[in-house]
């Protein structure tokens, strides 16, 4: 339909479409608000806001709502909200102020599960056998954290040399994650959903999660946390693989869940062995020096000292309060490499499969959350560097 504007020229009239109010309310809630708040954000005139609140939106307005809700545009034309099955994972977080698991978390989890399924199928086709490290110990049998930690260090080949050769916590993380991937564990670290740097993952919501699998175990570390905290989270989630326990973690040292307590103790024993700790610790004045030496947070060292009865609860609580104010690694940016957020081993395998023609470039792009031409570019560079080696 067209009408004459004040200048006498014809101007198109934007028609509104009537949608199901139930579906619109559902979409607005997924977008983090209400239909009324959405109307106020996209319309300036009261009559337009009322029209939206009644369920009548223009196509551009409906498209914007779909984008904000992260749902396909076509869902808005349904008579009632779709029954979307979310992936499930045990919630092992037990801190009092834990945030509800968000849409961002569930999309990240779903993305990790898709990657894990693809990788497991790839490995099966290439004759992979179950890994002995997955579920090697059982929480029910109450294994000693020292024993589990010693086995992890032995299997991954972790030694003091790794810490000494790492310039900082970031380098230490990279070195340890490389050892885990060499043993068959997919390690992913990102601070945002897929490749969308505007949709960040809250470190207050979760620190990481573990997905044990017979041949394709996976751990995910929230890249928005402090660098020294990420090292501990990595070992905590690796401990989950050794115990065969799936779950999302906050890695709180006060968590009372049996598996979380054990994983915390295992991580501490791998990263801060008691004998080495006692050699370094001379008192509270050594907190910063000791934390820097072991490439972990001051809170981990304070907990170690508390468990050894070298400091009192008041000292630990003071360090814990200060740790909440630690500056994070910063907002995620596009320069976080594709192999880090997708896992280096997974990325290398997908690229090799795409370049050999086993996997379509389009499908490889979907797996890596990049465009098909980016896959081709990365694949060519990888092949040039590696000489065409493919993941087995």
Domain spans in the chain, listed from the N-terminal domain onward: 2-77, 103-323, 338-386
**For residue 196, pLDDT beyond 90:** no
How many DSSP H helices and E strands does the chain contain? Answer: 18, 10
DSSP-derived letter for residue 313 is H
How high does pLDDT run on average in the chain? 87
257: number of CA atoms within 13 Å, CB side? 19
Pick the closest to residue 43 from 60, 28, 23, 67 (CA basis).
60
379: number of CA atoms within 13 Å, CB side? 23
pTM of the shown model: 0.80
392: number of CA atoms within 13 Å, CB side? 3
**For residue 307, pLDDT beyond 80:** yes
92 and 255 Cβ atoms separated by less than 8 Å = yes
The pLDDT value given to residue 332: 43
- DSSP codes joined into one string, 208-238: EEEE--SS--EEEEETTS-HHHHHHHHHHHH
The pLDDT value given to residue 335: 34
The pLDDT value given to residue 97: 63
Convert the pLDDT of each residue in 126-183 to its tens digit. Answer: 999 999 999 999 999 999 999 999 999 999 999 989 988 998 889 999 999 999 999 9
Pick the closest to residue 71 from 119, 105, 103 (CA basis).
103
Burial class (CB in 10 A: 0-12, 13-18, 19+), 130: exposed
From residue 273, how far is each of 288, 315, 336 by CA, in Å? 17, 21, 31
- DSSP codes joined into one string, 39-82: HHHH--SHHHHHHHHTTEEEHHHHHHHHHHHTS-GGGGGSSS--
């Amino acid at each position: 339909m067209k009408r004459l504007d004040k200048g006498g020229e014809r101007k198109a009239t934007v028609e509104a479409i009537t949608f199901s109010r139930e579906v619109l309310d559902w979409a607005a809630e997924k977008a983090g608000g209400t239909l009324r708040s959405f109307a106020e954000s996209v319309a300036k005139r009261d009559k337009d806001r009322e029209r939206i609140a009644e369920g009548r939106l223009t196509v551009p307005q409906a498209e914007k709502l779909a984008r904000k809700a992260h749902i396909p545009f076509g869902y808005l034309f349904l008579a009632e909200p779709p029954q979307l099955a979310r992936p499930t994972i045990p919630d092992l977080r037990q801190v009092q102020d834990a945030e509800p698991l968000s849409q961002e978390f569930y999309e990240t989890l779903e993305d990790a599960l898709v990657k894990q399924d693809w990788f497991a199928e790839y490995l099966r086709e290439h004759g992979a056998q179950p890994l002995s490290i997955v579920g090697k110990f059982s929480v029910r049998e109450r294994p000693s954290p020292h024993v589990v930690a010693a086995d992890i260090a032995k299997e991954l080949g972790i030694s003091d040399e790794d810490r000494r050769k790492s310039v900082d916590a970031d380098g230490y993380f990279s070195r340890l994650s490389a050892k885990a991937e060499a043993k068959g564990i997919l390690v992913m670290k990102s601070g945002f959903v897929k490749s969308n740097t505007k949709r960040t993952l809250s470190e207050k919501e979760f620190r990481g999660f573990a997905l044990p699998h017979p041949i394709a175990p996976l751990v995910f570390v929230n890249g928005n946390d402090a660098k020294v905290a990420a090292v501990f989270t990595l070992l905590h989630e690796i401990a989950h693989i050794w115990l065969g326990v799936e779950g999302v973690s906050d890695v709180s040292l006060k968590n009372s869940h049996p598996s979380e307590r054990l994983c915390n103790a295992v991580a501490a024993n791998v990263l801060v062995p008691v004998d080495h700790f006692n050699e370094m610790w001379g008192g509270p004045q050594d907190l910063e020096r000791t934390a820097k030496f072991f490439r972990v947070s001051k809170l981990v060292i304070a907990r170690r000292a508390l468990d050894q009865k070298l400091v009192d609860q008041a000292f630990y609580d003071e360090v814990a309060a200060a740790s909440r104010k630690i500056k994070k690694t910063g907002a995620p940016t596009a320069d976080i490499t594709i192999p880090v957020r997708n896992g280096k081993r997974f990325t290398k395998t997908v690229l090799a499969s795409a370049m050999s023609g086993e996997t379509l470039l389009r499908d490889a792009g979907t797996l890596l959350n990049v465009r098909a031409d980016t896959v081709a570019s990365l694949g060519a560079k990888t092949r040039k560097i590696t000489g065409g080696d493919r993941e087995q």
